[in-house]
Amino acid sequence: MKRYQPYDSISFLNEFRGKDFTGEWPTVPEMFSISVKRFPDRPCFTDFDGEGGKKRTWTYSQALDAILRLASWMNENGVMHGDRVAVSGKNSPEWAIVYLAALFAGAIICPMDYALHAEELENLLSRAEPKFFFVDDEKYAHFTEKEYPFGVYSLNVKQKTKEKYVLDLAATKAPSIQSATIEETAAILFTSGTTGIPKGVMLSHKNLVSDTYIAQTHMHLYETDVFYALLPIHHAYTMLAVFMETISVGAEVVFAKSMSVSRMMKELKEGKITMLLGVPMLFNKLASGIIKGMKEKGFFVYGILKLLMGWSYFCKCVFHVNPGKKIFHAVLDKASIATIRIAICGGGPLAKSVFKFYNQMGIDFVQGYGLTETSPIIALNPVEHFKIQSVGRYFKDYMEMKIDNPSENGIGEICVRGPMIMQGYYKMPEETASVLSDDGWFKTGDLGWLDKEDYLMLSGRSKNMIVTEGGKNVYPEEIEDSFQLETDIQQITVQGYIANEATKSEELEALIYPSDELLKRLNIVREDTSAETKKTIASSVQEVVDRVNKKLLPYQRISKITVLDSPLEMTTTLKVKRNYKK
């Protein structure tokens, strides 16, 4: 591998420094305004939600007009510097306009998962205490049935109460806005919406903007690129790697409303997508479909295609050119991904064979790594210098990474320090102090090691968090709490397990110790360990799990149970010691 040289992604800012912003980095509104100056008439926000599924597009200047109009309305209606504004809905231009308008108004944006139940959103809203809440139609009615200490407005043009539609809101006088500084909080991303106190990750303008430009040192982005916002944009991954990256270079973002295959194929093809970011589940499904189609051509043709794929990959690794895009154009076009220039996978483990497959087919495919607390990108495979076994090279020129307490083979906890590290957890100083040191080092809780060229290899997670194949973060304690009132279960502990070795798909398993009450009702003594008795107990336990599963979000549901003969070891505070793997 020839010596890697990072791309220059920020020198163009010198043209605007001192005029459009001061200091090392612009704020998010300043970053967007610079793109408007550079590319006023280029497409900015696009979706296919017009009449009959027609394409809707805002240019950069049109988007700025809508953003400033809404920011002025927010200001006139009481949103002041440092106030919070919440938004929850499917990906859309309206969502993006609310997000940026709040920042242009000097406020803090609080994006929330639209998949949460209304009651869970209420929990987050009580924590955030926003001035306004902008929400999709599906939950709009719930939030207008009673009085809340915040105003509720609709993200959907179909909303019958037109005066509540976000793009119809306009101020009657000139605003008086105090803009946020680069060091101030731009966004609060909440990790959970269930009962209890959710963690709100505070990210500053500096966190978001620096990470946006620093990530571009590992790949070229152009104003002609078209990003596809398929994953929910409230998540840090999509928010930065799609939304922020788009507006930083004057590119276009196409907002997807659903994971429907037919709709996705239409949007990929008609949107002429060049930048596709997703999670393992998406790329696994796409790859499976393509391979299936190739095999259907017969053994002989498939064999030739495999040889061509091997040759294409060899050319890319050795000569840094990839002929696969031309060789397999017809195959890629049928899958609606012929226009894809770069594909990036994050949010979970990916099989090496899938990583290799896309590169063989002519698509520059790389992996990245990060957490919400790191804005999130802290490692990214350079497009021309990727390592298939790595989640990426960390940005050595802009940040520090170290492996804490490494073992004999170099594996330890990954710790990072740099401009993208969060300010802390919202109103949770003790939790912040537990992961963020006074001198700025953040403990990721993940285990890994670095090679001689600063590429990061993940070895596992030391935290309890489970990442599903769909890229969802699952916190086992939240699921376990759902069983607190189930008297048939004395102890339940949730962990991840590999459901598919080929794709490294991770799902949820519950280790369950049945209660004395259940055994008594079944007229079973605990000492009876016969196969028939175990089957009876497992059947009753499964009924409980099925009942609770219905109340959980799809990615939180338990797909496997293991009934324990004895309880797991507990701490003095009655918490299971998670140093097990049944």
pLDDT tens digit sequence for 393-428: 999 999 999 999 998 889 889 999 999 999 999 999
Q: Do 189 and 111 contact (CB within 8 A), yes or no?
A: yes
Q: Identify the CA nearest to 58 among candidates 34, 33, 32, 40.
A: 40
pLDDT of residue 582 exceeding 80: no
pLDDT of residue 144 exceeding 80: yes
Sequence-distant (6+) residues with CB within 8 A of 100 are 28, 29, 32, 63, 67, 247
Which pTM value belongs to this model? 0.83
Element (H, E) at 60: helix 60-76
pLDDT at residue 261, as a whole number: 82
- Rounded to the nearest angstrom, the gap between the alpha carbon of residue 195 and the centroid of all alpha carbons in its chain is 22
Q: Identify the CA nearest to 477 among candidates 120, 122, 198, 111.
A: 198
Tell me if residue 115 falls in helix, strand or coil: coil
Distance CA(401)–CA(414), nearest Å, equals 7
pLDDT of residue 61 exceeding 50: yes
- CA distances (Å), origin 177, targets 8, 70, 525: 34, 12, 71
Model confidence pLDDT, tens digit, residues 90-110? 999 999 999 999 999 999 999
- CA distances (Å), origin 147, targets 113, 125, 382: 22, 13, 51
pLDDT at residue 572, as a whole number: 34
Model confidence pLDDT, tens digit, residues 204-234? 999 999 999 999 999 999 999 999 999 899 9
pLDDT at residue 453, as a whole number: 95
Distance CA(28)–CA(244), nearest Å, equals 8
Lowest mean pLDDT: which of 169-173, 241-245, 479-483? 479-483
| 489-500: strand order across its sheet | 489-500, 505-514, 560-563
- 447 or 129, which is more confident? 129
pLDDT of residue 387 exceeding 80: yes
Model confidence pLDDT, tens digit, residues 544-578? 999 999 988 888 899 999 999 998 876 433 457 66
Question: What value does the mean pLDDT of the chain take?
Answer: 90
pLDDT of residue 310 exceeding 70: yes
- CA distances (Å), origin 401, targets 214, 296, 417, 433, 458: 15, 47, 7, 19, 13
- 42 or 489, which is more confident? 42
pLDDT of residue 271 exceeding 90: yes
**What does DSSP assign to residue 554?**
G
pLDDT at residue 258, as a whole number: 83
Tell me if residue 379 falls in helix, strand or coil: strand
User: How many helices and strands in the chain, by DSSP H and E?
Assistant: 18, 25
Distance CA(164)–CA(154), nearest Å, equals 6
Sign of the CA dihedral with 192 first, then 110, 24, and 227 last: positive
Model confidence pLDDT, tens digit, residues 6-55? 999 999 999 999 999 998 999 999 999 999 999 999 999 999 988 888 99
Burial 432-470 (b: 16+ CB within 10 A, else e): beebbeeeebbbbbbbbbbeeeebbbbeeeebebbbbbb
pLDDT at residue 571, as a whole number: 44
How far is the first Cα of the chain from the last one, in angstroms, to the nearest whole number? 41
pLDDT at residue 1, as a whole number: 44
Cα torsion through 497, 413, 345, 398, rounded to 10: 170
Sign of the CA dihedral with 42 first, then 48, 52, and 58 last: negative
pLDDT at residue 158, as a whole number: 61
Burial 23-37 (b: 16+ CB within 10 A, else e): eebbbbbbbbbbbbb
Beta bridge partners of 442: 416, 436
Cα torsion through 541, 545, 546, 548, rounded to 10: 140
Distance CA(110)–CA(129), nearest Å, equals 10
- Rounded to the nearest angstrom, the gap between the alpha carbon of residue 63 and the centroid of all alpha carbons in its chain is 24
Token couple for 527: 């000492």
Model confidence pLDDT, tens digit, residues 339-374? 999 999 987 667 788 889 999 999 999 999 999 999
- What is the residue type of 345? C
Q: Do 126 and 149 contact (CB within 8 A), yes or no?
A: no
Percent above pLDDT 90 for the chain: 69
Q: Do 374 and 364 contact (CB within 8 A), yes or no?
A: no
- 529 or 14, which is more confident? 14
pLDDT range class, residue 159, cuts 50, 70, 90: low
Beta bridge partners of 560: 509
Tell me if residue 400 falls in helix, strand or coil: strand
